[in-house]
Amino acid sequence: MADAEDQKSAPKRPAKGKAEPPDAPRSHAPQASHAALARKYRPKVFAELIGQEAMVRTLRNAFATGRIAQAYMLTGVRGVGKTTTARLIARALNYEAPGIEGPTLDMQAEGVHCRAILESRHLDVVEMDAASHTGIDDIRELIDSAHYKPNIARYKVYILDEVHMLSKPAFAGLLKTLEEPPEHVKFIFATTEVRKVPVTVLSRCQRFDLKRIEIETLVEQLARISTAEGANSERQALALIARAAEGSVRDALSILDRAIAFGGSEVKADAVRGLLGLADRTRIFDLMQTVLSGDAGGALTQLAALTRDGAEPGQVVADLADAVHAVTLVKAAGAASADPAASEAESARAADLAQRLSMPALARAWQMLLKGHEEVRGSPRPTASADMVLVRLAYAADLPPPGELARRLTEGDRAGAAEAGAAPSPKPSRRPEPARAEAPRVETPRAEMPHAVTPRAEAPRAGTPRAETPRAQAAPPEPLVLDDAPPEPQEAPAPLPELKSFEDIVALAEAKRDLKLKHALLEQIRLVRFKPGTLEINPLPQAPRELGQELMRKLKAWTGRVWIVAVSDEEGAPPLGKQRREKDARDIEAIREHPAVKQVMQHFPGARIAAVRPVAEPAAPAEGSEEPEEFKEDGTN
């Protein structure tokens, strides 16, 4: 009964061939899975490959002339098309179509092997992930299979992705086959870390460096794909996606896929900013103008508003650095160098700020933002770190640029020198006239003539009126000059030392009583090259790490000029102390052979020669005097 009732209560299915009514519930049959945009719009021919025109042109000419290499090395960052290019090359090598003989890049129609190669299921096109097949056993298996001719295609092609992950034995086992492969075998390698690939492997391959895709080119590609997907996309939103992808097509398509799903086929700039945690570009320029004008409070308020709206603190600092970069480019090269993906409002703001801000201020802001971005990324409290970065920027905005500081220091030194030179009063070039000398002298207190020579005169007695003259009341008194006063000696400034050799530098360190630096110069460095103003050294392992910087600092202070101390990889001469000891040893050995010294050593067996020092030559004897016997050249007496 229950079954009958269930059958009665169950809805009646429409007859075969009849359509369901509009209000009929949809069936729960599984729908086709959604293909990611990066896979759905993967290029199938070289004409669809964007941003790699140089590589495509080289391959086209090589295939047309028959100059096909036995191995290709494809390098580049993630998502620029390395694996796609490898499959396209494999398809071009094995392309077969009516009227086509031999490999070609002009694959207008789908060939016999094209679909199987693009879907990675062809028998003669073997794709191997080198990250999971790193050992020599995997390479040995590949080499063994390479000796067999292809099953159905023209060439047997081996595609090794992330080839830098192979072990050293695997690379060594691949070298011989890679250099002299069978005629029917081609190798295509792809890697993001080409520096980890041995040079012996790179020298056997034809290398192609796939470039990052330009923002404008990537925006056009995203616009075509969004139109094909039926999505309504704003160009500013696509520019944000392209900028966030950093030249990677796969990253850009992944973000676009998320943006279409997020906005329901509507890709808006505000939605993309919220999706990526970005800040409004115009608000970033507002923040830049505020912080570089020195308003720390206003900058902190704007940063708090951005973080409340969903922007990440680290991303705000990165966007601020991008804004500084954009303004710097406009200031350095004009409006033509502006970001092509920027809107008209952003370009106008960049041009306005470029007129207001100086190049030293922009360069200083760039350096501080780079350092601040690292701090924010590694900080357990990113918001607080971003606040401190903005505070530093605001307070540094009031500082003068380095050129102004140098000018002020130079002018300060000149002003100080001028003031010091003007301190002593100039002495008259002639003596006072006799008639004026007979006139009664005016005694001037010491405080009224600080730079004059005060005569040693007796103090006036009590009750004696002091002489006054109209000249003394109208102008400051002239300095009183005594006839018998000796001229004041003026010490000439000590001449700066002139260093003509490395030995002069060591002697200067000894004269300055810097014994630590002297010891380092003698024992811990090897001289590579010397010329006045430039010094190339090769420090020994025991030398301090900051020896070069310290030597530059002290040479500048001692000589008054800038010295460049460069660290070289050349071995250079032995340390100066070692050279001196070797010279002393040679001098001692040479002096031992002197007949007089031999006689002395025979009479004093326990004696030893400690050092050999030159002595001053004796004075020439006067005329008519006979040379003493002890100074005769024959050594006899």
Tell me which of 567 and 192 has the higher pLDDT.
192
Tell me which of 341 and 511 has the higher pLDDT.
511
Same structural domain for residues 234 and 341? no
- Does any domain span residue 319? yes
Percent of the chain with pLDDT over 90: 22
- Does any domain span residue 440? no
Same structural domain for residues 199 and 85? yes
Same structural domain for residues 325 and 346? yes
Given a cut of 50, whether residue 215 has pLDDT beyond it is: yes
**Average of pLDDT values for 285-296?**
90
Given a cut of 70, whether residue 281 has pLDDT beyond it is: yes
d(CA 372, CA 388): 9
- Going by pLDDT thresholds of 50, 70 and 90, the confidence category of residue 190 is very high
Q: Taking the CB of residue 629, how many other CB atoms lie within 10 A of it? A: 10
Number of domains in the chain: 4
DSSP string across 564-631: EEEE-SS--SPPHHHHHHHHHHHHHHHHHTSHHHHHHHHH-TT---------PPPPPPPTTPPPPGGG
pLDDT given at position 18: 42
Same structural domain for residues 140 and 181? yes
Is the whole-model pTM more than 0.85?
A: no
pLDDT given at position 189: 95
- Does any domain span residue 405? no
Same structural domain for residues 266 and 285? no
Given a cut of 50, whether residue 432 has pLDDT beyond it is: no
Same structural domain for residues 112 and 178? yes
Domain-terminating residue out of 361, 380, 396: 396
- Does any domain span residue 163? yes
- Does any domain span residue 491? no
- Going by pLDDT thresholds of 50, 70 and 90, the confidence category of residue 37 is confident
Half-sphere CA count of 591, side-chain side, radius 13 A? 16
pLDDT given at position 460: 46
pLDDT given at position 317: 92
d(CA 164, CA 194): 7
Same structural domain for residues 367 and 269? no
Q: Which long-range contacts (CB under 8 A, 24 or more apart) does 469-473 make?
A: 469/442, 472/442, 472/444
Same structural domain for residues 262 and 329? no
Given a cut of 80, whether residue 617 has pLDDT beyond it is: no
Given a cut of 50, whether residue 1 has pLDDT beyond it is: no
The boundaries of the domain holding residue 257 are: 215-276
d(CA 100, CA 103): 8
Tell me which of 138 and 279 has the higher pLDDT.
138
- Going by pLDDT thresholds of 50, 70 and 90, the confidence category of residue 237 is confident
- Does any domain span residue 481? no
Given a cut of 80, whether residue 173 has pLDDT beyond it is: yes
Domain-terminating residue out of 337, 362, 396: 396
Same structural domain for residues 125 and 270? no
pLDDT given at position 455: 41
- Does any domain span residue 453? no
Within 427-575, where are the H helices? Answer: 434-438, 470-474, 502-511, 515-523, 547-559
pLDDT given at position 361: 87
- CATH number where 53 lies: 3.40.50.300
pLDDT given at position 5: 44
**Average of pLDDT values for 535-563?**
84
Same structural domain for residues 191 and 42? yes
**Average of pLDDT values for 120-147?**
89
Same structural domain for residues 52 and 178? yes
- Going by pLDDT thresholds of 50, 70 and 90, the confidence category of residue 249 is very high
Tell me which of 432 and 228 has the higher pLDDT.
228
- CATH number where 257 lies: 1.10.8.60
d(CA 291, CA 286): 9
Given a cut of 70, whether residue 461 has pLDDT beyond it is: no
Tell me which of 398 and 316 has the higher pLDDT.
316
- Going by pLDDT thresholds of 50, 70 and 90, the confidence category of residue 495 is low
Tell me which of 34 and 161 has the higher pLDDT.
161
- Does any domain span residue 411? no
Helix axes 215-228, 249-263, angle to 10 degrees: 40
Same structural domain for residues 191 and 85? yes
- CATH number where 574 lies: 3.30.300
Tell me which of 637 and 551 has the higher pLDDT.
551
Domain-terminating residue out of 527, 547, 578: 578
